[in-house]
Each structure stands twice: as C-alpha cells, then as structure tokens.
Chain A
Amino acid sequence: MIVAERKSLEEIRRTIAPYERVLIVGCGTCATVCGAGGEREVALLHAGLRAMEARSGEGWHTFLEFTVKRQCDAEFLDALVDRVREVDAVLSLGCGIGVQAIAERFPTLPVLPGVNTSFMGMAKEWGVWDERCAACGDCRLAETAGICPITRCAKGILNGPCAGTKNGKCEANNEMDCAWVLIYQRLEKLHRLEDMRRYYPPRNFRVIPRPRRIVSKAEVAVGGNNG
C-alpha cells in the first residue's frame, strides 16, 4: 500500500492562501489505510484549518470536505463534479497519483497536495508504518529470502552487509534492523545460504526510465483475418 504523511499546516496554509473556497478531498483507499487522508483525517484537517482561521482572526477561507472511494480513477471523481463547482481549489489528501488524477479530470481546477507521498509499505503495528518496496522494477526477493535489501538496507547494497551494522541494527538508524542480518538469518532457516554467497552484479537501473508505464494489454489487430 502507498503510505503518505500529512503536510504541515503551515505549508498547507501557504498553498491554499490564494483560494477562498477549498474542498478537502480524502481518498478511501491507501490514504485511508495509512491514516493520512481518509475521512477521519479529512475531518481532523478540516477542524485544524478552521481552528487556525478562527484563531488568526483574519480567516476568510471556506472549507468543504468529501472523501471519495479512490482518487486514482476518474470514474470515482465524478462524485466531485457538483462539489468542485462551488470551490476555487481542491486540497487532496490522496497520494501524488490522486492529486494528478483530479488535475487531469478537472482541467481548469487548481489541485493542491495535502500529504507527502512517502513510500510503499505496511503497518508494523497500530500507528507504525514500514517501507517494504522501492518499486525498483527488478524484483530480487527470490534470492534474498523475501526481504528486500534495496528498500530495507540504508545503502541498498546487494552483496551482503556493510561493516556498519551493530547489534543487528543499521548504522543509519539504530532502531532499524540491518536488512542483511535479517536476510542471513532467514536464509539460514531456509537452508539457502548459498543464495547469499552468490555474486550480484551491479543493478540495472535502465529498467526504470521515468516515467514508467506498463502495458499489459496485447497489441491486436481487430477485424483482420487471423488465419
């Protein structure tokens, strides 16, 4: 799932400054799950902005809120058609994809991001999110015991741990486990340590020229003769 984090109110205040009426739009999927932009966070941000306006004594904004099922498909954004007529801008609490999908769906409407899209990950426990995938486009998990060194090693190195690991933790953050220690331990349990002894050549970054696109449909000719 995509994990995001709300931007500071100060930054949001600056981006909405030119617009009087702002519709805060939540997203019912990833942003809800990661607690950054679901209906609850929309309500909290709404309350925060209103409190800010009231306390500043110079508030002139009007806020509306609405949460769509998913921001990253235009069909779900149809629910916004009537609502955006009443506003000057949309503040999206969806991920970067959601912001762009709204922008594409409403060509003349300013769309502002309310969250920073952080990473792809999962809940470690309530209220704690860990990154798990870097979307590198060249998955090596088969060889690393299902633990991604590209995401979970601070250096993303492929041939084993650096010498900075201490007590099984990473030199960059002593609360994070050293991915390579985890990989070693799991490979040992799987009797697959030879996977770690193998040399991994430099990664092929060519597989991720940006922007990326995946075409899963086949190129077919319609109406022709297949025989």
Chain B
Amino acid sequence: MQSFAIHNLENHHLARPKRAAEDHSLIPPCQAACPLHMDIREYVSLTAQGRVMEALQVIRSGNPFPSICAHVCAHPCENACRRAQVDKPVAIRALKRFAVEFGGDRMVECEAETTHDERVAVVGSGPAGLACAYYLRKLGYLVTVFEAHSQLGGMLRVGIPKYRLPREVLDTEVERLARMGVEIRTNARVVSLDLLFDMGYKAVFLTVGAHQGLRMGIDGEESPGVIDGATFLREVNLGLKPSLGERVAVVGGGNVAIDAARTAIRLGAREVNILYRRSRAEMPADDVEVEQALEEGVQFKFLVLPKKIRRQDGYLKVNCVRMELGEPDARGRRQPVAVEGSDFEMEFDTLVVAIGQAPQMPGGFGVRVGKGSTIVVDPVTLTTNRVGVFAGGDAVTGPATVVQALAAGRQAAGRIDDYLQHRYPKDAAESRETLVGDLRPETIEMIRRIGRIEPPALPPEARTADFTPIEMVYDWEAAVNEARRCLRCGAGAEILFQDKCASCLTCLRVCPYHVPYVDATGAVRIPADQCQACGVCVAECPARAIVLRRPYDRRQVAGELEHVLRSAAQTKPRPLVVGFCCQYGLFGTGSLSDLWREAGGSIWLVPVLCTANVEAHHILRAFEMGAEGVFIASCGEQCARENTEFWVRQRVEKARRVLSEIGLEPERIEVLVPSDHNGSTAAEQLDAFAQRIGTLYLASILMQEVRS
C-alpha cells in the first residue's frame, strides 16, 4: 500500500510541468464574434505593451488584408466586447489601424512557393476572391484571378467610397498578391466555367459579389433621375461624375444608403435626405457612420416610404406615405405599417434607391441559385452543385461585410485544398472553450471606468469638399491607453492544482473584483467569465495552486528576470540596480519610458505585465544574483486596475523584512510612482534611488576592507 502511495505522489508531481505549459485560456467574445476568428485579445494586449510589431504579426497571422479591415471592418468584435457592460467597448478596429500603420504593414513582404501543380481559377476579385487567392497561393497553388472590371477589388473598389478606404491601401494589397505570384486577369469577364476547366484549371472559386441593385417596385422607378445605390457608387468610384442636381434623396437604411448619401454630399448636392421606413433604432447602418453623416449635413426622414415617382418639370415628384411601427416580427424587428391618409409629396433632382443588392449570375455557369439569386452551397465545404466549383462571398450570402467575405475566401482556400488533395473536408475543431456569459453587476462595480478614446477625424466642414479619408490614426499614447482598457476576458486565473488548494480563501480575500467564491460543495471557484486577470491571487496564493490561464503570462516575470540577470552578469555593472517596470505603457507613454533613457548602464529593467505580478522572491533573487538595489516602478493612477500599488508595497515590505534579516538595508528596495508626494517624476525618483544605492554600495565596500 505504501509503495503505491509513493508512486502516485511522484507521478503526480512529474505530471505538473506539462500541465503548467498548456494554454487554458478561453476564447474571448471578441474572437468568437470575428468571422476570421482573430486573436484580438492578444494583439490588443501587445499594443498595450507598446509591442506594435508583434501585434501586427498576430494580426497578420489571422487576416490576409489587415490594412483593409483596419479601415472598413464592421467590427462585430466591438459589438461583442464585454467592456461595453462597464462603459464602452474597446475600439478594436482603430487599434488594428494603429498596429498596421505603426507596425509597418505596408512594408511586409509575403512569400509564396509553388508546391502543387494544380491551378485554381478565382472568378471575381472582391475581398472573398482576393483572400482565397492569397491563401491558395500560400498553400502553394498557382492561382489566377479573373476580374470583369479594369481594376481588382470588387466592392472594395466599386462599392466603398474612397473617404472610407483610400485606394492606395487596396492597391498595396493587390501588388502584394501579384508579387506572391498570383496571376491577375482584369477586363476578363468569365462567361463559361467549362472554358476554365478546358484551360486546365482544376478548381474554380466563384465570388462574383452582389452588384445588382434591388428595386422598390413602384410606379415611376424607371424615370430618369432615379438610380440604384450600387450603380451610383460604382460610377462615382470608377471616376464618373454623375450630375445629381441640388436635392438628392436616398431610400434605405443600410451602409450603402449612408455611403450614397455622403457621396452625394461630396459631389456637391446642396440637400441630401435619407428616407427610411423605420426609425433610427432599427437602422442596420453602422452607428458611427450615421453620426458622421449627420455631422456632414445629411438629413434623415424616418418612417417615410416612397409610393410613387413622377417626373415633372425636370424634377422628381415623390409621393410618400408616413409609417408607424407595429408589432415585432419573428426576428423581433418592429414592422412598419402605413398610416392611413398620410400621403405627402416631396421634390428632388435625384433619387438613389439603396434598399439592397443581389448577385447576378451568368446563365452559362450552370450553378444552382436559390433565394435572392444567391448561389446555393454546402456551408461547410462551400461546394456548389458542380464538381470542382466552389462559391463564397456576397454571391452566396447576399450583401454582407468585408470581414465575412475574407473569412469565406479563407475557408474556400482550405476546402479547395482539401478537394485537390482528396482529403475529407472538415472544419478544424477548436479545442479551447469559448467564454460566454455577462459580467456580474458586482464585478462590473469594481472595474475602473476608463473612457473610450476615439481616433481623431477630420472636422465635418473639412470632409465634404472631396473624398479625402476622414479618419486618422491614434498617436502612440492614445493607442496604448485605449488598448489598456481591454478586460482580457478568458485569460484570467484558474486553480490549476486543485490538489494543492488548501481552501484558505486567500484568493477570495485579495481579489479586487470579488470574483472567487465557495461553491455549494465547499470548493473554491474562480469563474473564468468574471476574472479580470490581474494576477493578485496568483501571487498571493500560499499554496501556489493558482496560475494564469496563458502559459506566457505564467512564465513572464521569472523568465524576464532571469534573462536580465544573465545579461547583466556578462557586463558586470557595479553597482547593479534591477527595476521591475510595468510594461503596459512602458515603451509607449507615460513617465516610465523615461527610465530607459535616463538609466545608466548599471540599471537593468525587467518589463512585467502589471507590477502586481512581482513576488517577494523575485526581488530576493535579484539580490542573490548580485543586485545592490531593486525598485518596482508602478504605474500608479494610470493603472487600469484597482489597488496595484497596495500589492506592490505588500511584496516590497515582505522582501524588505527578509533583506534586513540578512543584514542589508531595507531601503535598498524602493517603489517608484509616476509622481510622488514631492511631485518628483519616476525618473527623478530613480536618480535619487540610484544615488542612494551607490552610497550604500561604497559603504559596504569600505566595511569589507576595514574587516579584512
């Protein structure tokens, strides 16, 4: 029996290091909401640390054209962001924009090597087509993109106005594809898929978009002066200048309607009205876009529906009816109902109908189409009814977002690869759990409110003259501060070693957010959906049973410390001073960046992700390895968390006690804050501290000489 017990314990102990290396983090809601499943938490965190190049790497690993998304993504991630439950969601798209600009995405070279003989044709060069070409090329296939227009980009080129997506950004991506070896055929309208197979292509990805504007189906819709939104935007984007007259109306409530209205303003229309049959709350258009349209002078006429159009005296007389919202339908959207006898007439020069679009499929393709003329596909494999023909993007889904199209393109590349390599097509299973659930009110109450920082934009009066992009990039400080608002959902603490947990309730007592609790069985729980990943319980757990869920977070302090101590040992600086510094904002903003500049050669900085993670034994380790002084630079009031400095000071006091017990002066350990009670900056405090250590060091050398 006893030998069995030994065996068991030993085995258990040996098993620990492996478990400690596993990633136990949950997929955060932002990532789950992203069609591309991007590791948003990670690149936001890296941005918060000022590690913008690495942030870009993470972004690029999940997105073929991050610069495009950085401008135009509809950011479903932000809609899922749980920070909204505290104040406002993290400005994820704007942070991505910062990362691609400051990380130098323009300069990134994408390499591709041909490893397969099979050639694939991509019909259509919208975001889905380009993404598919990108990934197929990465997989080693020869890819040709066929585009009916003279330039690549599909809706990115002909749909989205230039003030939202500068064309250089799109051109950069197209050039990058060309350099990767993607063959590009413009002005090449594909009329028959058989022809493509005859040309030797082994697979075809159909991604022709949804460019056909829907019609209202009312009298007079054919009148001159009435134009559909997609056509209007295409003409403008291809360089035509349609004459609109002075009064323009746009019918519809989606993003295309807003784009059309704002484009009309830029073309010189004096008065632009949006006619929408529901109210503001039901508008599918992006809120920010609506706000900006209002700023630019677009007027909204809600609960209005055109009934009839007459052209008279060179004007369009539009007969409208007032609507009211009735009962919610099955999807919960309140249906508009005409108010009896409320007809009235409005007068415009031009009427843009932007109520939706549908794909337009050449008959010769021979693919089955379904509701709204969209191509019918198997949602997992994206295969059509024709062997070797895959389809995706708006042509399959109807008008959707850029990011959805990119995801479809990536999925298609994978499925086409499966097809060509005769693999059973299957979506890759995600092994990690997705975090679900809202923050509890008690948790929300404890989270520090930090206002969302919007990226700067041109003032409205400066926007409407032409198609200059209106949104600018964050500066370094704004980006880092915005990124620090991330709650790091799902990357919190867990009791990894339940067998070690002594149920002491330290975690419960130290948690600034009141997250841990005792369940009905008496076990201590740290619910992953509430934990704010501050790490205080990790550093305080007397049994060391708690770890952060991500392996990197677990190793970070000790790893960086050892690295610094090794480096310092090589240069043998005297006297050596080691400083643990909050890495959030260290490189980017705040006074802590000064510590790098003003620090002498003998001061070595250990960057840590929140100084609350520094433990007393880390400090003592530095002294063991020859440090004469150790400081912790806390970020003070700038901290996104509560009470960090309290915990820093607890650890410092603990280490000071040991220090005095081994005969060293406790004042060899110091806490630096951004501004102390004398108003000194962290850099000034560091100078004073370094001087103090110098004196203590000299005194100890003298003492040694006196003794010997």
Partner-B contacts on A (CB < 8 A) = 8-10, 28-29, 32-35, 38-41, 43-44, 46-48, 50-56, 67, 69, 75, 78-79, 81, 123, 125-127
Chain B interface mostly: helix
Docked-complex contact A75 and B5, CB < 8 angstroms: yes
Q: A150 to nearest B CB, angstroms? A: 26
Docked-complex contact A38 and B502, CB < 8 angstroms: yes
Docked-complex contact B509 and A35, CB < 8 angstroms: no
Docked-complex contact A35 and B502, CB < 8 angstroms: no
CB-CB nearest 9 A-B residue pairs: A47-B617, A38-B542, A33-B504, A9-B661, A52-B662, A47-B620, A126-B509, A51-B624, A48-B658
A-B contact count (CB 8 A): 104
Q: List 17 A-B contacts (CB under 8 A).
A: A28-B502, A33-B502, A33-B542, A38-B543, A40-B540, A40-B542, A40-B544, A46-B617, A47-B616, A48-B620, A48-B661, A50-B624, A51-B623, A52-B661, A55-B662, A56-B662, A79-B9
Q: When chains A and B are docked, how far (Å) is the Cα of A123 from the Cα of B502?
A: 14
Docked-complex contact A54 and B505, CB < 8 angstroms: no
Residues of B within 8 A of A41 (CB): 542
Residues of A within 8 A of B626 (CB): 54
Residues of B within 8 A of A125 (CB): 509
Residues of B within 8 A of A38 (CB): 502, 542-544
Name, among B13, B616, B658, the residue most crowded by chain A CB atoms within 10 Å (CB to CB): B658
Of residues 35 to 60 in B, which have CB atoms within 8 Å of A's CB atoms?
A: none
Docked-complex contact B543 and A32, CB < 8 angstroms: yes
Residues of B within 8 A of A81 (CB): 6
Residues of B within 8 A of A46 (CB): 617
Residues of A within 8 A of B2 (CB): 75, 78
Docked-complex contact B654 and A44, CB < 8 angstroms: yes
Q: When chains A and B are docked, how far (Å) is the Cα of A97 from the Cα of B294?
A: 77
Docked-complex contact B509 and A123, CB < 8 angstroms: yes
Q: Mark B497-528, 1 if CB is under 8 A from A, else 0.
A: 00110111110011000000000000000000
Residues of B within 8 A of A43 (CB): 544, 617
Residues of B within 8 A of A39 (CB): 500, 542-544
Q: When chains A and B are docked, how far (Å) is the Cα of A53 from the Cα of B620?
A: 12
Residues of B within 8 A of A32 (CB): 502, 504, 542-543
Interface residue B168 (Cβ < 8 Å from any Cβ of A): no
Interface residue B370 (Cβ < 8 Å from any Cβ of A): no
Docked-complex contact B541 and A40, CB < 8 angstroms: yes
Docked-complex contact A44 and B502, CB < 8 angstroms: no
Docked-complex contact B624 and A78, CB < 8 angstroms: no
Docked-complex contact B500 and A28, CB < 8 angstroms: yes
Q: B613 to nearest A CB, angstroms? A: 14
Docked-complex contact B6 and A78, CB < 8 angstroms: yes
Residues of B within 8 A of A69 (CB): 499
Q: When chains A and B are docked, how far (Å) is the Cα of A10 from the Cα of B662?
A: 7
Other 7 A-B pairs with CB < 8 A, given A54-B626, A79-B10: A33-B542, A51-B658, A51-B662, A52-B663, A54-B624, A55-B664, A79-B9
Q: A11 to nearest B CB, angstroms? A: 10
Q: When chains A and B are docked, how far (Å) is the Cα of A48 from the Cα of B13?
A: 25
Residues of A within 8 A of B662 (CB): 9, 48, 51-52, 55-56
Interface residue B339 (Cβ < 8 Å from any Cβ of A): no
Interface residue B555 (Cβ < 8 Å from any Cβ of A): no
Q: When chains A and B are docked, how far (Å) is the Cα of A166 from the Cα of B504?
A: 34
Interface residue B621 (Cβ < 8 Å from any Cβ of A): yes
Which chain A residue shows the least CB distance to B500? A28
Which one, A29, A55, A123, A126, contacts B663 given CB within 8 A?
Answer: A55
Q: When chains A and B are docked, how far (Å) is the Cα of A34 from the Cα of B542?
A: 8
| Known contacts A38-B544, A52-B662, A78-B9, A47 near B621 by CB under 8 Å | yes
Q: When chains A and B are docked, how far (Å) is the Cα of A222 from the Cα of B504?
A: 42
| Known contacts A38-B543, A39-B542, A123-B509, A54 near B625 by CB under 8 Å | yes
Q: When chains A and B are docked, how far (Å) is the Cα of A67 from the Cα of B654?
A: 21
Which one, A44, A54, A123, A127, contacts B616 given CB within 8 A?
Answer: A44
Residues of A within 8 A of B659 (CB): 51
Residues of B within 8 A of A44 (CB): 615-617, 620, 654, 658
Residues of A within 8 A of B615 (CB): 40, 44
Q: Mark B640-670, 1 if CB is under 8 A from A, else 0.
A: 0000000000100010001101111000000
Q: When chains A and B are docked, how far (Å) is the Cα of A34 from the Cα of B503?
A: 11
Q: When chains A and B are docked, how far (Å) is the Cα of A43 from the Cα of B503?
A: 20
Q: B495 to nearest A CB, angstroms? A: 13
Q: B678 to nearest A CB, angstroms? A: 29
Residues of B within 8 A of A48 (CB): 617, 620, 658, 661-662
Q: Mark B163-199, 1 if CB is under 8 A from A, else 0.
A: 0000000000000000000000000000000000000
Docked-complex contact B543 and A123, CB < 8 angstroms: no
Q: B518 to nearest A CB, angstroms? A: 14
Q: When chains A and B are docked, how far (Å) is the Cα of A28 from the Cα of B504?
A: 10
Q: B606 to nearest A CB, angstroms? A: 15
Which one, B5, B499, B503, contacts A78 given CB within 8 A?
Answer: B5
